[in-house]
Amino acid sequence: MPSPENPFRQPPPNLDPDQASFLEQFAGASEEELETAGIKSEKPPKPKTEIEFGTDDLSATTPDAEVHRYTDETIEFRGVKIRRGEKDLLEGILKKINTDRSKSGLEPFDWDTGIMKLNGSRIYIDNDGFVSELYLGDSGLLDTDNLNLPQKIKGLGLNGTLISNLDNFLIPPLVEKLFLSEMPISSVRNIKLPPNLKELGLGNTKIENLEGVSFPQTLKDINFYAAQLTTISGIRWPSSLEKLTFEDTKITSIADSVFPENLKTLSFEHTPLAEIAGVIFPEGIERINFMSTQISSLDDIHLPESIISLNLSGTAIKTLRGIQLPRNLSELFITGTRVSDEEIAEIQTQMPNCKIFNTKH
């Protein structure tokens, strides 16, 4: 092959004009030109420099140390110090939200400057730059497809979204507060609840029963407000529970139900609850709310001495005679009942430290 020699430099006699070294050094040929000509370059490989990349540059072949260095770097994002990897996840969530909002014909969201706020939703960043709580309420999310969440969050809210199915959705393992209220979900049976969960909100959902649901033994508070729940029969409550709210549900009976030993507060306000015979309340319970239910008698239940507040307002109860009221009771609500003024006076005499609420309209 003829070689275009450089006329301004004289090659030493021991170089073959067809060798790559000759062409590179004395004819000015580039590596690309050598490759085109079918001649392998003899230049030593260029030394590696430090890798610089953005999110799109991360791949399966990127060294783990480089990936960690990149994602763990603390940067400033909209006036907040945050780890780069966390920021990338938040931007991915925002992209997912706006894709779903577009499908519903809604205007796109954007981050507010300075505070990590997503319109009705809110994001909290801890002092180490990690997302600690993520509440995406009313964001317009349609499903959990491609919804990748920060793995160190301890609070997660999807309440008010349009997600109807959470089956097999992977909730980050450190979540302690989970809010799924005001969603069109009808079951949580196939949701793997986080092992350290303490607070769970399932209010105003389509959930009718809790059959097959496994609650973690760390739960302290479950709120079923306005859910379509009709029964709690056969539910194995975690012993750690301290508060249960069934207000505005469709439960009609808790007869023979056994509530967990550490329960402190129990509310069935504004439900059609009528049957309570044989129910077992734990000895440490402090507050029971039966306001605006259809309960007509307390004859067949035991009220533990630990109760300090008992709300019977708006019930069909006519008398409390023959009922052993707890000695520690400090609040008794009987507005709207048929308990006579004479009987109320008797109760007040027997229990001078109890405040009786019996507002007359």
28 part of a folded domain: yes
* Other C-beta atoms lying within 10 Å of the C-beta of residue 69: 13
Rounded Cα gap, residues 331 and 312, in angstroms: 11
Q: What is the mean predicted confidence (pLDDT) over 66-95?
A: 89
- Pseudo-torsion of CA 218, 220, 226, 227, nearest 10°? 20
User: Which segments of the chain does DSSP mark as H helices, in order?
Assistant: 20-26, 31-37, 64-72, 84-103, 341-350
Residue 16 included in any domain: yes
In-domain check, residue 13 = yes
287-289 and 265-267 as β-strands: parallel, antiparallel, unpaired?
parallel
Please give the tally of structural domains in the chain. 1
pLDDT digits (tens, 9 = 90+) for 13-27: 454 545 555 444 444
| pLDDT over 50 at 135, yes or no | yes
Compute how many other C-beta atoms are within 10 angstroms of the C-beta atom of residue 195: 11
* Residue-wise pLDDT tens digits, 303-325: 999 999 999 999 999 999 999 99
Of 5-14, 191-200, 229-238, 257-266, minimum mean pLDDT range: 5-14
Assigned domain for 7 exists: yes
- CA distance between the termini of the chain: 111
Residue 119 banded pLDDT, cuts 50, 70, 90: very low
In a domain, 290, yes or no: no
pLDDT given at position 9:
40
- Indicate whether 14 belongs to any domain: yes
What are the C-alpha distances in Å from 136 to residues 117, 119, 180? Answer: 10, 9, 10
* Strand ranges for the chain from DSSP E: 74-77, 80-83, 117-118, 121-125, 131-135, 155-157, 177-179, 199-201, 221-223, 243-245, 265-267, 287-289, 309-311, 331-333, 355-357
pLDDT exceeds cutoff 70 at 338: yes
Q: What is the domain extent for residue 13? A: 1-47
- Mean pLDDT across the chain: 84
Write down the pLDDT at residue 64: 74
Strand 221-223 and strand 243-245: pairing? parallel
- Count the neighbouring beta carbons within 10 Å of the beta carbon of residue 34: 17
**Predicted pLDDT of residue 79:** 78
Q: For residue 121, what pLDDT is reported?
A: 66
Reported as a single tens digit per residue, the pLDDT across 55-70 is: 444 555 656 777 788 8
Split at pLDDT 50, 70, 90, the class of 8 is very low
Hunting for tokens 């008010």 — which residue is that? 160
Q: Is 41's pLDDT higher than 60?
A: no
The whole-number pLDDT of residue 84 equals 94
Residue 285 falls inside a structural domain: no
Residue 156 structure tokens: 């997660």
With CA atoms as reference, report the closest residue to 159 among 176, 134, 190.
134
Distance of alpha carbon 209 from alpha carbon 200, whole angstroms:
16
Q: What pLDDT shows up at residue 212?
A: 87
Residue 221 scores a pLDDT above 60: yes
Candidate from 95-104, 133-142, 192-201, 212-221 with smallest mean pLDDT: 133-142
Structure tokens at 294: 């259809």
The whole-number pLDDT of residue 139 equals 87
| CA–CA gap between residue 358 and residue 189 (Å, rounded) | 42
pLDDT of residue 11: 43
Q: Going by C-beta distance under 8 Å and a sequence separation of 6 or more, which residues neighbour residue 101?
A: 107, 108, 109, 139, 140
